[in-house]
Amino acid sequence: MENFGFAFEAGWQVVLVGVLLGAGLPAVFAAGIRSLAYAGGGATTSGADGGPAAAKPLGTVLAGACFLVVILGIVLGLTFILASGFGKELDFGSGIPTLVDKS
């Protein structure tokens, strides 16, 4: 019965990582695209006075933050894959990902 508990715990960890990386990064990317639309004035093509819609710099900043998270996720994923090919592994023990020799 103890093995069932270990398998169940490991299964939930796999599901959690799959949801975060499988659906999480595309959702963050979509939020970045939406933020760019907000930065440009959204769905409106003109402002209240008939002129062009006002740009919103907050949308640009949010889009940049979203895209940075996506890029960091991609870089960490590629580093994880490439490190194993070189006999290394990613270690998050210090809070900062570092490459260490496999033990």
pLDDT at 48: 57
pLDDT at 33: 95
pLDDT at 64: 95
Instruction: Render each residue's pLDDT in the chain as its tens digit; 103 residues.
Output: 677 787 888 888 888 888 877 888 999 999 999 999 888 876 555 555 655 667 788 989 999 999 999 999 899 889 988 998 898 988 888 888 888 988 7
Q: State how far the Cα of 4 lies from the Cα of 10, in Å rounded to an integer.
A: 10
Which residue is listed with tokens 């490190």? 83
The residues spanned by each domain of the chain are 2-101
